A and B are shown apart, each in its own frame.
Chain A
Amino acid sequence: MRVELHNICKRFGSVQANDDVSLIVEAGSIHGLLGENGAGKSTLVKILSGFMTREQGSLQLEGHEVNIKTPADAMQRGIGMLHQDPLDFPPLSVLDNFMVGQPGGLFTHRREVIRKFRQLAVQFNFALDIRQPVGDLTVGERQQVEILRLLSLGVKTLILDEPTTGISASQKDALFAAARLLASQGKSVIFVSHKLEDVDELCDRVTVMRQGRVVGNLPIPAPDAQLIELIFGEELAPPAKNSTCQEGVALALENITIRSDRLNIQVNHLTVQQGEVIGLAGLEGSGQQLLLQLCAGLLQSSTGCLQIKGIDLTRQPYQTYLNTGVGYSPADRLREGLVNGLSIHEHVALKTSSQGWFVDWKGTLKQAQTAISLFNIRGKPDTKVERLSGGNQQRTQLALLPVPLNLLLMEHPTRGLDIGSTLWVWQQLLARCEGGTTILFTSSDLDEIMQYSDRVIVFSGGELSEPIDAKKLTVERLGQMIGGKLHYDSPVMAKRSTKHPAKR
């Protein structure tokens, strides 16, 4: 089915998620949608599949103007979306999930449905047991169930949202084969991804988005360099930071393995100096956060050892990390960084909790007021943190970090802050570095990484690069590494043990 989106606009608060976006997908083609996290890809496909409503713009299917307001509208018109986390019912069996939304009266014709399911599964070469609870399946298998379900409902345009994250190589092959088969049947497939290699392998055409806009539309194959330039923009700010490195190792990792649901991370060897700033670059969810949480003591390595200032903290409790001078500032401010429901004053008071039994409400009120003026937080001491804006929550979080610290781990230290505040925050952070604090931080703003890091580690799909001197980095190299080509011209240092080695 030919799908056209014209001049789509969508805004979330101050963020223009889609800014006059147009996209044409031909029937019988596989169309890639490429871009960084937050570039507006997901918003666009959610508008198409009825999960969000557009503010402006129009939709055309097979040349006819349509109005899609709900996912049911979209399904009725033949548009189905496979979500990154499949929207299924884990306790139910494969068959029951398949039957959800099937037409029919009060009683479903079970035998008929089983026949239909088997027929589709054979056609797409998916090996699924209809009786198994979906909760026991791998992500890849759950995708297969969902694809079959969507197809049985008569989908003519299938949207795949980041489908290759966390599935095995053979499952990826089966998925791609299925997509090609659909295209050959005259259906269209929209493939949303941030992985160059996947787009290269599968798509006929690609549209690149950046900051809510379409910045390019070209046929595949296309040169990687060109795509990366489109994804990240043409220029990166030059490294501007003077080294704050000092004598003495602050952090040493040896033969670390972190396991999580989606990623396994292996760090063979890493040492960081006192006062050093390490930027962790990569698309979100590539493993940066896991490394920060490991260093914070919130995750445990199954192997190896971790030392902070020469003290072995391997498998020590979180409290020991805190006592050793480790600070962690999470990105999810209202779930991890701050206690939703408590006021700024109460947060400040919590930080003084080693001082006896009774809270000195008057004294802590002064401290809260001082912090508010020092960190320029727009709020009152009794303002609950969830009522602060994102930027002010970030300032509050910074205000709560203890002084001094040996190791500071920050996720997106300036996300949601204006330029002035960003500069001010980094001023504070770099002052800490001068005092010997080591900082590891993640950011999706490559400028920020380049500007403030001494060295940069690039993450891609759980694999991480050797730390690279920021001054030696080029835009091209950084972009390609983020896109999955970590070992472009560098010796292998960190080898990953993920379920699916990159295929090219």
Chain B
Amino acid sequence: MPQTRSFFRRCWRMVALFIATWWIVAGCSSPSVNTPTSETSPGASPLAGSDLTVGMVMVGPKNDAGWNQAHFEGIQEAIKQLPGTKLEYVDKVNPADRPNVTGAQVADDLIAKGAKLIIFNSDDFKDDALAAAKKHNDVPVLHVSGDYAWKEGKNFKGQPNLTNVMGKMQYGEMIGGCAAALSTETGKIGFLGALINDETRRYASSAYLGARHCWETYRKKPASDLQFKVTWIGFWFNIPGKTLDPTKVADDYFNGGYDVVMSGIDTPEAAVQAKKAAEAGKSAKYVHIDFKGGCNLAPDSCLGVRYYHWNVPYTTTLQNLKDGKPLESFTWLGPDWKDINSTATSMIGFLPGKALGDNQKNIDAFVKSLGDGSIDLFKGPLNYQDGSEFLKAGEKATDQKIWYMPQLLKGMEGPSA
């Protein structure tokens, strides 16, 4: 009886069957076929011949109700504005969703398919963007949120066909922070932060500056009475076991007397938990981010949402390419102060929520002062968390100082790195 042998063979086969089946099941369980849009289906563009194909590499799913969706809708809007352009894209380009695929490889394939402009939509892609730009030095590469093409920045690489675009969300954060400070009854604001880097430190600090200003100006209370706490979960969204659970972080805020939570992550945990806390009779409000429709998640608890209009820079870039104009190597766009919610012109916007109530008038006043320059919150004296000096008295922050903030500001609670 060859029992031992046949036992082993059975095992062997079982393992193989298991893996193979797992592969199939894993494949079938996410059969979300990308519905072809009119822009992406070949032959749909009206002006064949003078086609400009844009290749876009997205880090997350194009329908994430956050960062990636904002980009996807932005580029689609831009393409709608400019006949003769079309889009090729790959989303979910990250090691978890697409193992053994790098952003640079996707760029190679997009270029092979005729893309004349490559857009990378995440800070994570900075090395891929540089590699792609070096390899295809005749194709412009637009990297969103990076600084490799910023001549005045710290990491300038001097790659001529690499450009950077970013929005000055610090203004959105200030307005959001102001809305939080106007509405808090306990004087305690919680900031639900993602991972820690220059960008997120900048945003949390801006939110704090806005909150402190409105607390002092409109609520007429001393800054020392305002508590502003930042909790970082470790990534842009919840990865069970690897990040802090944002649901729990939001709950801890609401249970700990923080009656306003500002979301700084891609997913809507702050909104969901605010709604629950409000239903349980607590005073709980939230400020949403990225996704313009964020207040619909819990209208009665929403103070507002700060968001990007990516179509603004994308339209400009595409138009310039079509016209044969050179691209701006580094663009850092702010709001259109005439109408910060203008789809056509304003990179950064703020939509107030129902819960803001009468405070709306103060927000309007605050936005107006920001727009006409009568208020500059990045003006000294300002110190870092550890007490060291950020801005001397009367000193105005340069873009570099704002971009590269090594620490949170004095008066904020939470880790800087």
Contact = CB atoms under 8 A, between A and B. Distances in A.
Interface residues of B, number: 5
Contacts of B5: 340-341, 386
A331 to B, nearest CB: 14
A472 interface: no
Interface string B1-41: 11111000000000000000000000000000000000000
A11 B349 CA distance: 91
A64 interface: no
A494 interface: no
A299 interface: no
Interface in A324-378: 334-335, 340-341
Q: Which of the four size classes fits the interface of chain A?
A: under 10
A334 B7 CA distance: 14
Nearest to B1: A334
A386 B2 CA distance: 7
Contacts of A341: 2, 5
Contacts of A386: 2, 5
A190 B18 CA distance: 47
Interface in A291-346: 334-335, 340-341
A181 B3 CA distance: 41
Contacts of A335: 3-4
Contacts of B2: 334, 340-341, 386
A340 B2 CA distance: 6
Query: Chain A interface secondary structure, helix, strand, loop or mixed?
Result: helix
Nearest to B6: A340
A296 B1 CA distance: 25
B14 to A, nearest CB: 19
B170 to A, nearest CB: 63
Contacts of B1: 334
Contacts of A334: 1-2
B101 to A, nearest CB: 41
Nearest to A386: B2
A334 B2 CA distance: 7
A335 B1 CA distance: 9
Nearest to A384: B2
A340 B1 CA distance: 9
B13 to A, nearest CB: 16
A495 B142 CA distance: 91
A341 B7 CA distance: 13
Interface string B211-223: 0000000000000
A37 B353 CA distance: 90
Interface in A227-241: none
A334 B3 CA distance: 9
A340 B3 CA distance: 9
A370 B4 CA distance: 30
B80 to A, nearest CB: 61
A488 B294 CA distance: 97
A417 to B, nearest CB: 20
Contacts of B4: 335, 340
Contacts of A340: 2, 4-5
A172 to B, nearest CB: 32
Interface string A143-167: 0000000000000000000000000
A334 B1 CA distance: 7
Interface string A363-407: 000000000000000000000001000000000000000000000
Nearest to B9: A341
A334 B5 CA distance: 10
A347 to B, nearest CB: 15
Interface in B178-202: none
B8 to A, nearest CB: 9
A386 B5 CA distance: 11
Nearest to A341: B5
B10 to A, nearest CB: 14
A85 to B, nearest CB: 16
A383 to B, nearest CB: 14
B12 to A, nearest CB: 13
A386 B4 CA distance: 12
A335 B5 CA distance: 10
A386 B3 CA distance: 11
A139 B1 CA distance: 27
A341 B5 CA distance: 7
A129 to B, nearest CB: 34
Contacts of B3: 335
A402 B1 CA distance: 26
A393 to B, nearest CB: 12
A387 to B, nearest CB: 10
A386 B9 CA distance: 16
Interface string A448-481: 0000000000000000000000000000000000
A386 B1 CA distance: 8
Interface in B357-404: none
A82 B394 CA distance: 97
A146 to B, nearest CB: 25
A112 to B, nearest CB: 39
A154 B3 CA distance: 35
A459 B305 CA distance: 90
A496 B3 CA distance: 35
A299 B2 CA distance: 24
Closest 9 CB pairs of A and B: A340-B2, A386-B2, A340-B5, A341-B5, A340-B4, A335-B4, A334-B2, A334-B1, A341-B2
Given A334-B2, A341-B2, A386-B2, 8 more contacts: A334-B1, A335-B3, A335-B4, A340-B2, A340-B4, A340-B5, A341-B5, A386-B5
Interface of A: 334-335, 340-341, 386
11 contacts: A334-B1, A334-B2, A335-B3, A335-B4, A340-B2, A340-B4, A340-B5, A341-B2, A341-B5, A386-B2, A386-B5
